Copies of this chain bind each other. A is one copy, B any other.
């Protein structure tokens, strides 16, 4: 993990270079471009209405697609994107465009919302904290695709585990508005939770920066520079994920033409948009803070070098001339009258002490000591 002699830190996460792998393929080809190892594909199903709630883990795709249109909201949660035929099965059942399926499987999409005649397609970046002893928070980024078709919400993600468990619980316990409002509210609630988790990530980054700022003064070393730069890289990635998310939410909140998104849900979307704006502002503030920490580090280092130089100069300025003086009387000339003087040795000491005193006075006046 640390190729640089234990010091350097790898970029904590990189978007897989999906497009590079797919160069030359025909547009619309559904190919998983992520780095997850192929595993079993899981399909969970949550079905609920005002009067009931059902959570079927591992329901399988056919069970999940059966019964659509019975007036209840259903959330089909797909984990794992290797199974291209299954994606195409879902696409066929819900009438999705080939390009949508391609985007679902190409997991390096920019966040966006696309409106089709019968459905909305939303791509987001889900970012979570990985527990770690490191000062720099370790982040995990994943593409979350959300399709809203009539009463159905389909979510696609690469790995098991997400940030949506509190939502599942809320729906199950019929708390809040979740059960009373329709599939559009469900889609909103998913989006909102993803945005809210950005705050937790930013808080961790803020703490890391504060720790680095202390270190920059205390003990400026490689790890500080490296850590600050790693944080800056993370913020760069976050901004890249959040900036289009903000546009996406603004676009959804404005979305008045179609009946897909009801007016109360639009109000909530405006709220989520406000959150995204606040997240972005925090990202920018943390970016400036990170730059300031780097500046502080450099300033502290300069000051430290200056201190070191000053000590060296004081020592050298005091002792080098004295060493010259004693060297003079260490010469072996036959005719050196001072050597025979009675108080010669004492006089040399006196001269040297006066010189040292004068020099210390000079340093004091220059405020060096």
Contacts and interface: CB of A to CB of B under 8 A. Distances in A.
Most buried by B among A202, A271, A281, A299: A299
Interface residues of A, number: 117
A306 B308 contact: yes
A66 interface: no
A312 B311 CA distance: 10
Interface stretch (A48-56, A73-81, A248-256, A272-280): A272-280
A57 interface: no
Interface in A290-323: 292, 294-306, 308-313, 315-317, 319-323
B297 A299 contact: yes
A11 to B, nearest CB: 7
A3 interface: yes
A301 B301 contact: no
27 contacts: A19-B275, A23-B197, A23-B199, A24-B167, A27-B176, A27-B189, A28-B176, A28-B177, A108-B278, A112-B274, A217-B222, A220-B303, A221-B303, A225-B296, A225-B303, A233-B292, A240-B285, A301-B302, A305-B305, A308-B313, A309-B309, A313-B315, A322-B324, A326-B330, A333-B344, A334-B339, A335-B345
